[in-house]
Structure 1
Amino acid sequence: MAPLTRSVEDTVATLPDAVDPLALSLNENPFSPLPTVRSALISAIDSANRYPEFLPERLRRLIADRIGMAENQVVIGPGATGVAMQLLHAVTEPGDRMVMGTPTFDGYPIFAQMARLQPVMVPLDEHGHHDLDALADAAVDAKVVVLCRPHNPTGTLESAPAVERFLAAVPRDTIVMLDEAYIEFVAPAFRLDAASLIRKYPNVLVLRTFSKAYGLAGLRIGYGFGSADLTEKLWRMQLPFGMDSTSLVAVAASYDAERQLQRRIRVIAAERRYLRMRLRAMGVYVTEGHANFVYLPPAGTPWQDVFDPAGMRVRHYKDGGVRITVGDRWSTRAVLAAVAAGR
């Protein structure tokens, strides 16, 4: 483990400083946009007086080509959250049930409220995983069910066979939102074959984003893909002129900088492992996460009493658990110091 730690420290030292190393509540990428992406964005400012495309056809085509999907199977939105709302507007009516695990991404209960849906909260199991049997049972009379993989906030992964059994148990007229916002941080061996899944289960919509691994949270670029019948319904909900004119430029430049991007992902994933290892060495239980954050279940000392005095902005949950974004090495040291001082 020591050689890995030294390598990570050397690599982190060559990367741009985090803007705010104590802002660890939103799972933002700690590093500024890649230099080539930044240059492309600066150049795009000269066209800011012009409207973007009426509908983001070119961005849709670029992403579809990249992920190996037909163009009409891809939808675009202002972040994955925008795509989620397009789905709810397209397939639900007020009063329909929307099923999700709890705790979950903060947005999903809000989206249910905005669409005037009835949220159905299914508790996670004691290890921070979805209770897939209970989730499938609740989905029987629901219009939408959410499956996050990795899960937010615990970072846990359901196995591919378990996901298959879950999808087979969900009625075909219930839409499954498969949220893969953190997929780039998952080791390739543990990723789902999403393209195969949507061929087999046309009621599945996969959500992804450029906000996390790509570090473009401020530009609000997300996408979804699924069966053509499903995505056609969402495309009808596409807001005219709804995507920033820099979106296409930023995505194209990010794809061109894939090697540098993968290097940053490796750094963040290694920092996640390092933070988890150090916390466990201090006697803190940490879930086996696969995203760019760590999750600490409720403990004897309230986590709020640990991190608030240190001035750290982390995400606290009603049950007492806490989610901490993985930042740079400075942030990691601050987290460890706060835990050491507060427990």
Structure 2
Amino acid sequence: MKCGALFSGIGGFCLGFEQAGFSTAWAVEVNEHAATTYSQNLPHVRLLTKSVLDVSVSGDALEPVDVLHAGFPCQSFSQAGERRGFEDDRGKLFYEIIRLINEFGPNKPKVLVLENAPFLRYGEGGAWFLELQRAIRKAGYWFRPENSCELTANELTPLPQQRTRLFMVALSMDAFRSGRFEFPAEKDKNPKDMRKYIDFDGHAEDEYYLPTENRYFKMISSSVTDRECLYQLRKYEVRAKEPGVCPTLTANMGLGGHNVPFIMNSRGLRKLTEYECLSLQGFPEKFIFPDDVPRAKRYIQVGNAVTVPVAHLLAEKVRIRLAEEGL
């Protein structure tokens, strides 16, 4: 079974689906730094480094795929953002997904998998979600509110990251007799071992440590009560997570050192490294950042990524549903 990826980022969705036995035929990513990281780690995939606005099925000779997945831009749908929805240029990129589906004609993907911010379901009193539902149905897919679900990483997987995202699965009316779909629901009840992902005792390079003269150092360090916990600065307030829990890793980590979660060790107060963050997103150990990708861009890429084990669980459910229809 083959997948295509729009807004692929560094490949979280692609890796999750490949772990479930799917192959990735092609991917589209406009950001050059993210595309560089993607190509370094998924060299077997045909990657188009261009805006989805400039992609066409015929012009780019896109191979028909069974599944199309897309984590389309969430800034305009986020509760923490400007909440402009489909009025924002980034929000309008959703319609490019629909355009490309239509361009495939009778060869359109059997399954459409989308990812975005949970607030998309509630914005404008539910109008955003109704518009999304209308567009997907018009494209020839089964899609009801039951085809969307909020999935939380530390509830469903061994990962300690407390990250909740909205996933939506639409099934082609040409391929499926109904839109029935079962989302991952089995809870991971094992204790979360933060030390699998974070080196609490080791010493990272100097640039990861907050200088003692930094204005945030005293604020954060004075709040540290447990060296097995993570601490985060949010709007001049220090938030401590309970042991075994990592806060949501966001793209804002690339905007400044104080946006990255901190730990305190014998050497001082340091932010998590980009590789620790990558691990907390479930990327495999062999996944690497190219040397020419700046550290700030690496943090942004991690924060924008789809959590790999969550994508894997969802992909397994998609595979089962396809098999039920004999596809």
Using structure 1 for the length normalisation, give the TM-score.
0.31
Using structure 2 for the length normalisation, give the TM-score.
0.32
Give the structure, 1 or 2, with the largest relative contact order (CA under 8 Å, sep 6 or more): 1
Determine which structure has the larger helix proportion and give its number: 1
